[in-house]
Chains A and B, each alone.
Chain A
Amino acid sequence: MIVQDMMNKKPITAESHTTIKEAFILLRHHHIRHLPIVDSAKQLLGIVSDRDLRDASPSIFDGEDHQAAFERSLSEVMKKDVISAHPLDFVEDTLSTFYDQQIGCLPVVEHGRLVGVITERDMLHTLIQLTGAHQPSSHLEIRVENIAGKLADVANHIKKYKININSVLVYPSNDEEAYKIIVLRINTMNPLRIANDLRAHGYDVLWPQEAELSQ
């Protein structure tokens, strides 16, 4: 998956002469927390977050005479060294950018022009899709030896049942390096038959658990 598949292609933007007051209204009206600032050629000049705006606003203790601060323009308060993404960046790389830089929003820039934004929220939505939990399915979790071909073996068992696999996650087992955990969301309400079949073939099925009372 790449950034352009999940970015917002029509982001709300501001200009450098937009005031702090106007920016607050934009954020509230569109339920967003970040505003990229562009010039008339869509060149990215900077970005402000709701936090930057609050920091630049007068405190309630300052009284009437400080209200002029709300009329300052964004060019005075925006961040100018903006971290941005490219539409063809891989989502995996973008995820680590969010994590390492502790940011909530990435402007997406192509040929110097702003073409979209992608937020932490968009990334979380992508994660939900990757885990397959948005489509009717059950969770199946298996601990396998960390050797080639194990995922294919498991998939082959499932294939016999004509059950679609909605998603696959493979990650190292917590305890030992010699094992991996395979987590699948499979398109069935009854994962028990597959689980029992896998157990009968020697697999360590972590979920669904073995029924205490067999029928």
Chain B
Amino acid sequence: MTKPAFIYSTDMLNYKFSDGHPFNQLRVKLTYDLLSASGLLSNEQIIAPRIATDQEIALIHDVSYIEAVKKAGAGTLNEAVAANHGLGTEDTPIFPRMHEASALITGATLTACDLVMEGKATYAFNPSGGLHHGFRGKASGFCIYNDSAVAIEYLKRNYGVKVLYVDTDAHHGDGVQWAFYEDERVCTLSLHETGRYLFPGTGSVMEKGQGDGYGYSFNIPVDAFTEDESWLQLYTTSLQEVMDYFQPDVIMTQNGADAHYFDPLTHLSVTMDTYKAVPKLAKALADRYCQGRWIATGGGGYDIWRVVPRAWSYIWAVMNEQAPTGNLPIEWLQTWQKEAPVQLVTTWEDAPGMYKPIPRKQEITDKNNLTLEKALFHIRPYHKKT
């Protein structure tokens, strides 16, 4: 009987910019450990990732950029060329063998795609992937190669499928959106904190695609301090309606966990309730519309101790129709509390009253609902041309 696949190898941790950099792939190991300690992950479900070839990476990225990343990782790239490609910056510092580390993450998402498309796994999850800010010829926002975009182009070419990309990272999924902005075979849906203050700044509700791709990019920018109720309302409504409109063959979700209240880089106020509900609906709709073809990746997530391991474990639990609740395994807490600079949360759920009530709650909810209407306006029945 086929089962879900968890793509994992400790080599994923080689994608490491520097100590103290907010992007820290230790979170992948923390997730793996939490799942193992909880008895939710069995050895035969773990699949080692392959490394993406240059040709595969070039499905999206410029060859000159790939060459620059290779040279950077070997320490032979000149500074001006590096700067042109967004390398050697505060966000994406150069580190040894950065090409190999990035190609492995891209390969991991491709492995997930192949397993699902060939029917060798029901669903597949690559927690190291979801590097949605990577551009054709430029690193951006901690992302070198855009594994999501490469994998979508790969799915299109090798399996001839229509792909729906769903991005619930707190930041706009700009790299993936621009890669398929004029493509009517790929639909992107990004729910994120408004770019008025937050990186990258794009993702306005009016970005809907261009040319043949017009109407196939959806953006739902929410206000800062948005909470579970509103976030989930927007996610549920938009995903259901977009699924129904686009009728994809396969769905790829980017599960950045940086919308959580604890996340240091963003200003949203969602809790574990969101991270429990998000994969549940993705699975239900993949089952209904795509014969279960669902590939999930990680993404952002900068509270690697209190948020990411629990949030990503939920994705895997949902794939296996499990619903962990109550206390986290004591051995996981004991092992990692020693390393953590913060007090770990000891339960699967967040405690109520984690943050002070948001005074503008109603205003934020109303504004978000208006945004949702604008985002879905062109696909709602009363607007369709007769």
Contacts and interface: CB of A to CB of B under 8 A. Distances in A.
B198 A139 contact: yes
Interface residues of B, number: 26
Looking at chain B's contact residues, the main secondary structure is loop
Interface string A160-199: 0111100000000000000000000101111111000000
B141 interface: yes
B264 A189 contact: no
A185 B341 CA distance: 31
Given A162-B90, A188-B90, A190-B90, A137 B265 contact: no
B91 A139 contact: no
Nearest to A207: B197
Given A162-B89, A189-B91, A192-B265, A134 B197 contact: no
A139 B90 contact: no
A140 to B, nearest CB: 9
Contact of B264 (A133, A164, A215): A215
Contact of B140 (A133, A136, A163, A192): A136
Contacts of B89: 162-164, 187-188
A184 B36 CA distance: 45
A207 B224 CA distance: 12
Contacts of A207: 197
A138 B88 CA distance: 18
Contact of B202 (A133, A190, A209): A133
Consensus secondary structure, chain A interface: loop
Nearest to B196: A139
Contacts of A137: 199-201
Among B133, B141, B341: residue with most chain A CB under 10 A: B141
B171 A189 contact: yes
B324 interface: no
Contacts of B342: 215
A187 B53 CA distance: 30
Assign chain A's interface to a size class: 20 to 34
A211 B264 contact: yes
B262 interface: yes
A46 to B, nearest CB: 33
Nearest to B224: A209
Contacts of B223: none
Interface in A69-83: none
Contacts of B195: 133
B48 to A, nearest CB: 30
Interface string B162-198: 0000000001001000000000000000000001111
Nearest to A160: B90
A58 interface: no
A67 interface: no
Given A185-B201, A189-B133, A136 B90 contact: no
Contacts of B341: 215
